[in-house]
Amino acid sequence: PQTIYLSEYKVPAYLVDHVDLRFELFEDGARVHSTLSVRRNPESAEAGAPLFLHGDSLKLESVALNGSVLAAGDFEDRGDALIVPSVPEQFELQVVTWIEPQNNTRLEGLYKSSGMFCTQCEAEGFRCITFYPDRPDVMARFRTRIEADKGAYPVLLSNGNSVAQGELENGRHFVTWEDPFPKPAYLFALVAGDLVEKKNTFTTCSGRNIDLRMYVEPRNAQKCDFAMDALKRSMRWDEDVYGREYDLDIFMIVAVDDFNMGAMENKGLNIFNSSCVLASQDTATDATFQRIEAIVAHEYFHNWSGNRVTCRDWFQLSLKEGFTVFRDSQFSADMGSPTVKRIEDVTLLRTAQFAEDAGPMAHPVRPASYMEISNFYTLTIYEKGAEVVRMIHNLLGDELFRKGSDLYFERHDGQAVTTDDFVKAMEDASGRDLSQFRLWYEQAGTPVVSVEDDYDADKGVYGLTIRQNIPDTPGQTGKKPQHIPFAMGLLDSKGQPLPLNISAGEQDGPLERVLELTEAEHRFEFHGLAERPVPSLLRDFSAPVRVQYPWSREQLLFLMSHDPDGFNRWDAGQRLAVDVIQSLVGTPEQAEVEPRLADAYRKLLNDASLDQALVAKMLLLPSEAYLVELAEQADVPAIHAARERVLKHLAQELKDDLLACYQRNREQGDYQLGPDAIARRSLCNTALGWLMSIDDERARELALEQFRSADNMTDRLGALRALVNSGFAADREQALESFYQRFSDDPQVVELWFSVQASSGQAGQLPHILQLLEHPAFDWKNPNKVRSVVGVFAGQNLAAFHNPDGSGYQFLAGQVCRLDDSNPQIASRLVTPLTRWRKFAPAYSSQMKAALEGIRDKDNLSRDLYEVVHKSLA
């Protein structure tokens, strides 16, 4: 496969003003008639260049230029492209292609999912539908006529407004859609199916009435309300916070079962993975509800950050994704608890994005090259990209940031632009110089910020020496220092915040400062301090960096209960737990567990004055994945054992407190979905899980009772998980069986059922995983099912996956090869755990590498998998 470079970007030689599409949908295929109004791009230097249209898996039926059919010698059908060597300045091109959606297992382009036709065109799927200049800087107005059998496909949808419809012969019908906004082909969408329609309306800030519609299979009609409300909240929020009003008269959401990712922001017609939009009290957990709210908002927000202003090329992907993730996380923070949302985002970033940044696929937020763009829908583009925008927000403050985003939308409306254009708008609106800041887009790797402190008691001066260093990543060495906003404060021995006086004369300095790090090394001094303070560093995780400071356990315990920054309280608890677990790795079974850890948790459990949502988060021990990420050379079974020991020790020590916490928080009365109720359910399920880890008999009763009587999925699944992870084997079997019987006709719940087993250290050993793959509800063609068994096993059940005999690795390699033939995007995502082989102790890494080499040697590797496997072996 070829490598594509940002440095080789050229403006398109031809522009498309208008696209007229006609789809004839049949059971054995679809005929696509496309008429393009094309003109030479005046900005292109390539006068007289041939017309180049991308294509993929298309059967060409005919090409005509300005109405005359072209003879075979007048064009070249290269398979991956249609080239017409000589074309006038301006012309119409008519292309007819035949495609087979019913055989499309890649789920890119036009395909069928549970009997309906649907599309996924980002990034390069439109070329699987017809020949087209399939790049985001070619923006055109689309008109789409869909023809299909009326009985089987009563609902026919595309982007924009429906402008005509009617009956055809043989029981067929058609609908024509017109999208007034020019858009890149990746935002094109089409849906045809037998779907029920859920209607609602939204009145915009300027008083326009928008028609809101959800289309789902009839069995899902009762699972739409939450997403519909989330959509309305998102629309209002984007008006209030960003001044962005919706632009079309209709906004549609469709749910499909087979989808490679979460959802897609097609103009006016968002298509969602069923699991990211359908929910009811009975079938969705709190985490699912929150995910749905965030994704609905994310896709909606793309209407401005992505659709109205789009990307010039795919190297700029984070322009829309980083900004939109930042926007959706602001939204979720506003809808619930900002501290809890921050904790969740940082947990994901530090566990998974830091690992990516330290691995073979590390790349900058704006990559400089790729082989397959699908491989670059990464945590770095999304989550780190969002952190970069968050830092700009923090540097500029609310008001100037809003001025910057207004300028960005105004200046670039209807254009395809770059991350640099975004930063420029922020600079121009605020007057701030962000030139050094731009390195965040160019340099890969997670900066390490190390902090040393000193205290001069005579002078009352406390000093911080702060150094930054950015590790080498593939293809990038010797990096320059970046512009890092570093929020901090100081506490006295009673836990009171101290004024930060940075010169001897200053008296009432602020209680918090954002230090701007721009050099490899800085020194900051704080004056007027009568005693040595305790530093609170990188508050609210003000930059995506690793902080190194020699915290003592005393300091962490102190910060855990005194830091005024909620995020840092949680973080101090995490660091303490990490320290305790790490110190036990590889020690004998009877080694003592730091007793102050249980004391600290007891305090948390019993202090009703604390924010219970924060307490619920603080009680979650650092995950194995995070511990692995922090390790130099991970020995997973040893890490797993150490963490289990700490968990069991805590459960043993805190038995009565956990039971009391459970009783106190157990839900009384009607089910609620507010932050308080969510926190209470989380506390109960954590308490239950801990107690069940030591096979506590009272907890067993409670778990069985909760499992039987739960009136919502969070509690039912919490009890199931506790039973599955306990030593009560008979209860586990029974609970799994009855759960499945009850929900076997609900794919979203069956996915939860699979993943509870696949993630369980008790139940999820390889032989059982193999059985799950044989289960009648498992389906290789459905990405959600594959992820909930294979993905969860390799990504979350670390001790089982890293079985010293290598069986987990061989298993994953086998599944990846099998999937590569049907769905390369899924295969290439699934292989990720193996690509991190260098991270593990030698006995493991050699076997992981061997498994990867096995994949490398497979015949017909897809470009997706080729890139990932070769880069990780390089």
Contacts of 423 (CB under 8 A, 6+ apart): 392, 434, 437, 438, 441
426 binds, among ligand B3K, Zn ion, none (CB under 5 to 8 A by kind): none
What is the smallest separation between the CB atom of 825 and ligand B3K, expressed in angstroms? 6
Identify the CA nearest to 749 among candidates 706, 708, 720, 791: 720
Contacting residue, 36, 84, 87, 264, with ligand B3K by CB under 6 A: 264
Q: Which is nearer to ligand B3K, 320 or 680 (CB)?
A: 320
Q: Where are the alpha helices (DSSP H) in 307-384?
A: 317-335, 338-348, 354-357, 379
Which does residue 261 bind out of ligand B3K, Zn ion, none, counting CB within 5 to 8 angstroms by kind? ligand B3K
Contact characters 796-825, Zn ion, x per CB under 5 A = ------------------------------
Q: Which of ligand B3K, Zn ion, none sits in contact with 122, Cβ below 5 to 8 A by type?
A: ligand B3K
Half-sphere exposure of residue 165, counting CA atoms within 13 Å on the CB side? 13
Residue 299 is a catalytic residue = yes
**Binds ligand B3K by CB under 6 A, chosen from 261, 271, 598, 621:** 261
- Taking the C-alpha atoms of residue 753 and residue 716, their distance in angstroms, rounded to an integer, is 11
Q: Prior bond to 841 cis, omega within 30?
A: no
| Residue number of the CB atom closest to ligand B3K | 122
| Min separation Cβ 635 and ligand B3K, Å | 35
> For residues 576 and 560, is the Cβ–Cβ distance under 8 A?
yes
Q: In the complex, what is the shortest distance from the CB of residue 122 to Zn ion, in angstroms, rounded to a whole number? A: 9
DSSP track, 493-521? TTSPBPP-B-STT--S--S-EEEEE-SSE
The mark string for 323-342 relative to Zn ion (x by CB under 5 A, - otherwise) is -x------------------
Task: Report DSSP letters for 715-766, one per residue.
Answer: HHHHHHHHHHTSS-HHHHHHHHHHHHHHHTT-HHHHHHHHHHHHT-TTT--H
Distance CA 84, CA 59 (A): 17
Q: What is the DSSP letter of 639?
A: H
Residue 241 to residue 731: CA distance in whole angstroms: 50
- Give, as ranges, the residues between 313 and 342 that touch ligand B3K (CB under 6 A): 321
Q: How far is the CB of 352 from Zn ion (least distance, A)?
A: 17
Report the distance separating Cα 817 and Cα 858, nearest Å.
7
The window from 315-323, 347-355, 732-740, 800-808 that contacts Zn ion (CB under 5 A) reads 315-323
Three-class SS of 753-814: HHHHHHCCCCCCCHHHHHHHHHCCCCCCCCHHHHHHHHHHHHHHCHHHHCCCCCHHHHHHHH
Q: Which does 183 bind (CB under 5 to 8 A by kind): Zn ion, ligand B3K, none?
A: none
Residue whose CB is less far from ligand B3K, 298 or 341? 298
Site for ligand B3K in 796-815 (CB under 6 A): none
Is 864 an interacting residue with respect to ligand B3K (CB under 6 A)?
no
What is the rounded distance in angstroms from the CA atom of residue 667 to the CA atom of residue 688?
Answer: 14
- Which does residue 377 touch among ligand B3K, Zn ion, none (CB within 5 to 8 A, set by kind)? ligand B3K
Beta-carbon contacts of 241 under 8 Å, excluding residues fewer than 6 positions away, are 330, 331, 334, 402
Look at strands 250-256 and 209-216 and give their pairing: parallel
Could you give the CA distance from residue 480 to residue 65 in angstroms, rounded to a whole number?
53
Region binding ligand B3K by CB under 6 A among candidate stretches 61-69, 296-304, 447-455, 505-513: 296-304
Identified binder of ligand B3K from the candidate list 20, 24, 56, 122, rule CB under 6 A: 122
Q: Pick from 36, 99, 123, 396: which binds ligand B3K (CB under 6 A)?
A: 123
Nearer to Zn ion, 263 or 826 (CB): 263
- Tell me which of ligand B3K, Zn ion, none is bound by residue 264, counting a contact when its beta carbon lies within the kind-specific cut-off of 5 to 8 angstroms: ligand B3K
Choose from Zn ion, ligand B3K, none: what does 123 bind? Cβ within 5-8 Å by kind.
ligand B3K
Taking CB under 5 A as the binding criterion, the range among 317-325, 671-679, 681-689, 756-764 that sits at the site for Zn ion is: 317-325
In the complex, the smallest distance separating the C-beta of residue 324 from Zn ion, rounded to whole angstroms, is 5
Find which of ligand B3K, Zn ion, none residue 635 binds, CB within 5 to 8 Å per kind. none
Nearer to ligand B3K, 183 or 569 (CB): 183
C-alpha–C-alpha distance, residues 26 and 13, integer Å: 35
CA distance 751 to 760: 14
Q: How far apart are CA 40 and CA 44, in angstroms?
A: 8
Catalytic residue among 299, 344, 427, 594: 299
Give me the residues that bind Zn ion (CB under 5 A), please. Answer: 321, 324
Interface residues with ligand B3K (CB under 6 A)?
A: 122-123, 261, 263-265, 298-299, 302, 321, 374, 377
Q: Which residues are catalytic?
A: 299
